[in-house]
Structure 1
Amino acid sequence: MSRSEAPVLLRTSAGPALPGSPTDFTEAWLRNRRLSEHTREAYRRDIATWLTWCAGRDLDPLRASFLDVNSYARELESTVAVRSGRPLTPATVARRLSALSSWYDFLVKLRALDGNPVVAADRPRVDRDHSATVGLAPEEVDALLAAAEADTGPTADRNRAAVALLADLGLRVGELISLNLDDLGAERGHRSVRFVGKGGRPRRRALTPSTAYAVDAYLAARAAAQGVPVAQLSGPLLVTASGARLDRHSVFRLVRRLARVAGIPAWAKLSPHSLRHAFATSARAEGVPLEDVQDAMGHADPRTTRRYDRDRHNLDRDPAYVLWAARARRRG
């Protein structure tokens, strides 16, 4: 057992020592927060990486200082990501340090530590006005949807439904794969879907006619294959051939395969999140108010929504033109 995993006794000012290991604290911290399962897993990995780093230096993570966190951060910045073959981005490093800071905040609140060592650490600067996600033009989204329509094979109906939900609703991939059949419904004449979004917030969205049609066609084909009525289907909305819930890796592969078929030049760099960015950009270009796009995407801060809008710096949208046109109308 490594030192970072060994049971420890934390003395608190409120009472007796707290028995346990850093891993125990991680699970307690995660249970205390409303998070999606995907986010929980990401945070577990982030904390486990820190604990492993500490163990390799015979450093008790509960006695680490901001100098140790700085050393860790600089090492992260030079770490090469397996998938991309490039160093971790500042945003990734900042996210890992943010998770670590939240973990230490939890221990401080338990009075297990006097202070959070991440607070005084030197975190990388992240450009909040930039995203590394490769975007899609509206015509490329159309081409991707057309490729899905032309797709064949036993999973073609499911693939069409998945891509339609991503493109028309701008869902996060985690939100997409977490959907269950009983999340589908109808409200005031709208076909709708309910789900739990980022931060554990309940969300609901309207299904467009084309997306509702794609979902209905998929469920009809799935029910027919099982020899049951659609009403008797249960469990996850999107499933594999064996009936298991579709995972995010399959959705990544699906988007890239269809993008390649559609002839999209950047197909190898696309992700499901590319469709989310395209949703925001196209909605704003079509005149949808920022607050409506923000609500649809589940953003707590409108600045996040603006970052998704790839066309926000287009001079066609400069308000100077609107003021000039209004002045011209007044002058008659």
Structure 2
Amino acid sequence: MPSPEVVPRHSSSPALAAAGFLDFTEAWLGNRRLSAHTRDAYRRDVAGWLNWCGSRDLDPLRATFVDVNAYARQLEATLGARSGRPLTPTTVARRLSALSSWYEFLVRLRAVDANPVAAADRPRVDRDHSATIGLTADEVDALVAAAEADTGPTALRHRATITLLADLGLRVGELISLDLTDLGTERGHRSIRFVGKGGKVRRRALTPGTGYALDAYLAARAAAQGLSVPELTGPLLVTTTGARLDRNAVFRLVRRLARAAGIQAWAMLSPHSLRHAFATTARAEGVSLEDVQDAMGHADPRTTRRYDRDRHNLDRDPAYVIWSARARRRG
């Protein structure tokens, strides 16, 4: 790991210190348990701030909350590469949160006296709202049916990918990081192991439908290579060239199949839409909030509730349960 001591306490030239800041960022990331995707995102967040400082000849070690506020207002006016719309408050808040963590590390190392992000005016984020476009249970069924009806040499892989997303509610980063060695059994259940947020190793049960889809995909993949399934190695989901499937391919797959399924909002969907649908459907089917929270790997139950798109449905109002119980007691 690079030594954070390469960062001077009060650098006089941002350009001269740039290499040191990059090394420091790697030291900061190495000190935290993060997924590869999160590390990449944090690198981009810090690099964006350093580039902004460099364009203004501002030493990041001398930046104040006023500078962070100016940067935040520019982020709020920045158009997203995918959406073409201004960045959401959640995105801006996440970028500032990463930057705050970066500065907190600097403070602990006594490279700066205080964290300038701590006093900055961060955008207000509604914890009860998510910008992700969700799916109803019927729409998920239609998406899975479209995957099952798909044709071509990659159709079995597509089916396995969609069923893993739909039945387990995995994050796309968790999905594409899966290796064949992550498949296993536990107490009579077929299971899959993966690294969730925070670098925590987690296990989930494979449903019969997901297991069937994976078995069919792996059998075809092994036959194409003249191998038996146990002889396969490497990533669980691979491209036709044998490379690990990437997140962009999964995004394209979800939208293509959603369009084929006749889902109106297909162009705005993402793999995360299936994760939201997982939470909503599980709660609608009576799964406890705690069990859904554990399955999704959420540290805070409020996050799980935000994923539950049907939480405000009056059909689920506890008043009905209370009234029904009272009616039964009265006979």
* Superposition TM-score, scaled by structure 1 size: 0.95
Separation in structure 2 between the aligned mates of residue 91 and residue 19 of structure 1, nearest angstrom: 28
Residue matched to 1:9: 8
Residue matched to 1:175: 174
Separation in structure 2 between the aligned mates of residue 110 and residue 232 of structure 1, nearest angstrom: 48
Separation in structure 2 between the aligned mates of residue 165 and residue 90 of structure 1, nearest angstrom: 30
Is residue 311 of structure 1 aligned with residue 310 of structure 2?
yes
Separation in structure 2 between the aligned mates of residue 286 and residue 245 of structure 1, nearest angstrom: 34
**Structure 1 segments unaligned to the other structure (5+ residues):** 1-6, 12-17
Q: Residue 82 of structure 1: CA displacement?
A: 1.9
Q: What is the SS of the residue equivalent to 2:178?
A: coil
Q: Is the 8 A contact 2:191 2:203 kept in 1?
A: yes
Q: What is the SS of the residue equivalent to 1:185?
A: strand
Residue matched to 1:206: 205
Residue matched to 1:86: 85
Residue matched to 1:60: 59
Separation in structure 1 between the aligned mates of residue 128 and residue 148 of structure 2, nearest angstrom: 35
Q: Is the 8 A contact 2:7 2:111 kept in 1?
A: no
Q: Residue 210 of structure 1: CA displacement?
A: 0.5
What are the within-5 Å matches in structure 2 for residues 211-290 of structure 1? 211-290=210-289
Residue matched to 1:4: none
Separation in structure 1 between the aligned mates of residue 79 and residue 227 of structure 2, nearest angstrom: 50
Q: Deviations over 1:235-287 (max 9, x none)?
A: 10000000000000000000000000000000000000000000000000000
Q: What is the SS of the residue equivalent to 2:202?
A: strand
Q: Is the 8 A contact 1:35 1:198 kept in 2?
A: yes
Residue matched to 2:98: 99
Q: What is the SS of the residue equivalent to 2:224?
A: helix
Residue matched to 1:73: 72
Residue matched to 1:14: none
TM-aligned CA distance change 1:28 to 1:285, over 3 Å: same
Q: Is the 8 A contact 1:69 1:118 kept in 2?
A: yes
Q: Is the 8 A contact 1:166 1:272 kept in 2?
A: yes
Residue matched to 1:152: 151
Q: Residue 20 of structure 1: CA displacement?
A: 6.4
Q: Is the 8 A contact 1:10 1:19 kept in 2?
A: no
Q: What is the SS of the residue equivalent to 1:10?
A: coil
Residue matched to 1:110: 109
* Superposition TM-score, scaled by structure 2 size: 0.95
What do you get for the CA RMSD once the two structures are aligned? 1.3
TM-aligned CA distance change 1:203 to 1:328, over 3 Å: same
Q: Residue 295 of structure 1: CA displacement?
A: 0.3
Residue matched to 1:3: none
Separation in structure 1 between the aligned mates of residue 103 and residue 54 of structure 2, nearest angstrom: 17
Q: Moved runs in structure 1, 4+ residues, more than 4 A?
A: none
Q: Residue 9 of structure 1: CA displacement?
A: 2.4
Q: Residue 83 of structure 1: CA displacement?
A: 1.2
- The letter for the 2-side match of 1:127 is D
Q: Is the 8 A contact 2:80 2:87 kept in 1?
A: yes
Q: Deviations over 1:60-113 (max 9, x none)?
A: 001100110011001111111121110000000000000000000001111111
Q: Is the 8 A contact 1:9 1:20 kept in 2?
A: no
Give the number of aligned pairs: 320
